[in-house]
Structure 1
Amino acid sequence: MSTDGKSPLPPMDWPDFQPGWVWLTGAGPGDPGLLTLHGLNALRQADVIVYDALVDERLLGWARTGALIEYAGKRGGKPSPKQRDISLRLVELARSGKRVLRLKGGDPFVFGRGGEEALSLVEAGVPFRIIPGVTAGVGGLAYAGIPVTHRDVNQSVTFLTGHDQNGLAPDRIDWDAIGRGSPVIVMYMAMKHLDQIAAKLIASGRNAAEPVAIVCNASLPDQQVLETTLSRAAADVAASGLTPPALVVVGGVVPLRQALDWRDGLADASVLDAIGRRTRDAG
């Protein structure tokens, strides 16, 4: 399918974006190239694009000519539209006969409130489609040279949010169970409460010297990575001046970055033996 003279997508039975529908679409962790082909197809057909704060605005240049573009970003500590208002706006636009693309950073169903918006559409009788995206906790860490799984390190990984819907450290997480049972922990939106979270994990029995990485602006040109330890993480973040959006990963996969940092051209086989020793020691 091609619109406005843009290069066509590869031949396939691409879905038509029908008027009155909402497509909840993941834009990936930042790098526009991580948008899926279904997401690109959506951009090229949408009448209205309602996008989040973590969406790289370069993607909006791929929208069809004449599409209405609305910002609906939510950022902690800054004036933001209420989630209920965003959902109502999606319903309003769809009922007016628009093809509505709700473009969200990462994956809409991974700490993206896509489930809440989809349920609002169901309640209002608005038809919708889900287009998954590359979630930051996988794709963003890959851009930092950190695999979320490695068979010599972990057979499981836990993804969690670092704050609840009120912006507080989540109190419904069983930190003791996660600390004991998950070899690798990936945290979204955890910088604000990192001191409390690290203390809870150490109290659960985690090694205070366990490796930690904080990845800011993952996959973007200004990506920054801080490697530290669980006991020093909060202090090192404060001293570094790093700011959200950021991912925090805890566990033995972090040292692998010293060999797998492909993005900065630092991939180095000579450190493999040392990484193996440190990984075993940290475990």
Structure 2
Amino acid sequence: MDWDKLRIFHAVADAGSLTHAGDALHLSQSAVSRQIRALEESLNTTLFHRHARGLILTEQGELLFDATSAMVKRIDAATARIHDSEEEVFGELRVTTTTGFGSLWLAPRLQKLYDKHPELNIDLMLEERVLDLPMREADVAIRMKEPSQADLIRKRLMSVRMRLYAAPGYLDRFGTPHTLDELATHRLICQNPRSAQVTAGLQLVQTLLTHDIHGTLTVNNYFGVLQAVISNLGIGVLPDYIIEDFPSVVRVLPEIESNEVPVFLAYPEELRQSKRIAAFRDFVQEEIVAHRTSRKLMGAE
């Protein structure tokens, strides 16, 4: 099958438009249309439904798009490995992690990585969904559980616990609770129990909510919880890694915390020799060591 036609088909399916695909491929709309018609004729099937708002894949088109998507990912992987044979660290590195860890811990530290490798481009994908690393949805992941996918190199980085925190301004106004019964008279800020989150954090929230909490504010990620806490809205359930960068935040009820949550770094076996992966891995490990040292000095452990 003609790869050029498949390449053009993939661009059209991805863009949902002949015009947009043509712009991306630097081809005229008529040239793209001719290639799609020729491909449909060679397969003796219709790949797209045409309508006023654009193009929609037929069932046969979906099957072909799945195949071309897998081909593109494999080509991207091969290209990455070729680039990684060079001495310098450069090019795009797609990193995925949770919204909380990525926004509160990782992103504020990336300047150090850029200072060391200025030609490295990070595509930071923050979401709770676990991306498929072997299928190259991302190059490297930092997750709050050990990855279950096969053919991954994984390394445990550290452990996290969810704890209770508040801003001094809030505690000055409403007082510091010393028991769970006293916590019930405060506003609890936490992730919505229905939102995606680590099991240990969910279990802690569910336990706290059994104590007839006076009021709640629920958010679907820890970044939002933190912003509410530092805005003096209440006492928040937050991961302990936030303390280093927000030293004014005060821990409340220190005997209350979640079970331990392991943090893992993982990447595909085929990227074992990647210099970009190695640079990112070494950077994260160095920051973890500095993070642990800072927490010990602050007495957080």
For the pair shown, which has the larger CA radius of gyration, 1 or 2? 2
Instruction: Give the helix-richer structure, 1 or 2.
Output: 2
> Per chain length, whose mean CA-contact separation is higher, i.e. which structure has more relative contact order (CA < 8 Å, sep 6+)?
2
Length-normalised TM-score, structure 2: 0.28
